[in-house]
Amino acid sequence: MDKLKLAMVGGGSIAQLAHLPNWSKIDDVELVALCDVDKGKVNLLTEKFNIARWYYVLDEMLKREKLDALHICTPSLHHFSMAYLALSKGVNVLVEKPVALNSKDAQKLNDYAIKNNLTLMVGMHHRFRDDVQILRNFLAQDELGEIFYIKTGWLKKWGKGQATSWLSEKKSSGGGVLIDLGLQLIDLAFFITNFPKLKKVRLYDYHLNPDIDVEDAALAVLETESGQTITIEISWKMYLEKDTLYTHIFGKNGAAKLNPLRVHKEMHGNLVNVSPMHQDSQFDLFRRAYSKELKHFVRVLKGEKENMSSASDALSVMKVLDALYESAKRKEEVVIS
């Protein structure tokens, strides 16, 4: 099979630090074009990564290039319109999270991709971490017994935070720290537990920075139909010495945690550490996850793998986020229909 012809739109930090370096190392892919509104940036990046052509307008790139796939790395505001435009041209899409700013638009993208037999994958790189894959397999084999409680959080240390970023503008991001960090943790919790059905949700949101119009700290509580409780605490700017990212899973026969991966279970009346002996550093796990994510997308396009980060999954998460934001607005629990 010939190399897949891929283009990227958006040349920001995630593209520069994670995706462009990894795409340039994948033999099955030819990165043929880059699109960005910043002319200086796009000229610099095309030269650095040996990309043949550059554009400042996505529609023009899609008209001129014969693409197999488009990778969307723009601010969230543009994800829906750009993904829909590419899909309408018959181009497969990998879009960074969130797939859209709300579940209504996520539904449109998912339906269109399915109807037209196109791949729409959402960039949820935590799914591709080796430790997450190991833990997911543990849970699938019922190693910890029935899971009754998951608590997860991502608290960023005190600093300038997101105050000057498009992430702190609701019209550009769709929300604040919940859609930025919380979305990833909800997706992670659902992914490792095979997407349990929710019964009700509650969001407690906090607006600590008066200069931004979105929540910069929040606590989400999810209750599943089977009685599991999932809590998510998130913040862009806590008075902490360092960033804190954690996930704890509690079952009736054992418990596990991520960052780093630890697994303990009851065996013959004793608590036994059954954690994997050799584990890479957190830095290496995160770095490698980006590479594995892109390689997986290529294999999906070749028909070698099922989409492990589908728009359908992303739609499910966006529905939860919509319900959580509604809960914060109403200041009460929202029952999931």
What six digits make up the tokens of 226? Answer: 């089977």
β-bridge pairing 147-157 and 244-251: antiparallel
Assign a CATH topology to domain 128-290+316-335.
Answer: Dihydrodipicolinate Reductase; domain 2 (3.30.360)
For 259, the enclosing helix (H) or strand (E) is none
Residue bearing the bigger pLDDT, 211 or 327: 327
Cis peptide leading into residue 75 (ω within 30°): no
| The pLDDT of residue 2 | 85
Question: Rounded to two decimals, what is the model's pTM?
Answer: 0.96
Contacts of 13 (CB under 8 A, 6+ apart): none
pLDDT higher than threshold 60 for residue 20: yes
Q: Kindly state the percentage of the chain with pLDDT values over 70.
A: 98
Residue 186's beta-bridge partner residues?
Answer: none
> Could you give the strand order of the β-sheet that contains 92-96, starting from the edge strand earlier in sequence?
53-55, 29-35, 4-9, 69-72, 92-96, 120-123
CATH class of 4-126: alpha beta
Q: How confident is the prediction for the chain on average, in pLDDT?
A: 96
Residue bearing the bigger pLDDT, 168 or 183: 183
Q: Whole-angstrom Cα distance, residue 15 to residue 153? A: 25
Q: Give residue limits of the domains in the chain.
A: 4-126, 128-290+316-335
Q: What angle (nearest 5°) sits at the alpha carbon of residue 103, between those of residues 100 and 104?
A: 95
pLDDT higher than threshold 70 for residue 163: no
| The pLDDT of residue 165 | 80
DSSP per-residue string spanning 136-199 = HHHHHTTTT-SEEEEEEEEEEESSSTTTTSGGG-HHHHSSSHIIIIIHHHHHHHHHHTT-PPEE
Residue bearing the bigger pLDDT, 281 or 14: 14
Residue bearing the bigger pLDDT, 106 or 164: 106
Three-class secondary structure of residue 281 per DSSP? coil
pLDDT digits (tens, 9 = 90+) for 112-145: 999 999 999 999 999 999 999 999 999 999 999 9
The mean per-residue pLDDT over the stretch 9-38 comes to 97
The mean per-residue pLDDT over the stretch 271-295 comes to 93
The mean per-residue pLDDT over the stretch 198-205 comes to 98
Q: Whole-angstrom Cα distance, residue 220 to residue 205? A: 8
| The pLDDT of residue 281 | 87
What six digits make up the tokens of 135? Answer: 């833990």
DSSP per-residue string spanning 206-222 = E---TTSSS-SEEEEEE
| The pLDDT of residue 1 | 60
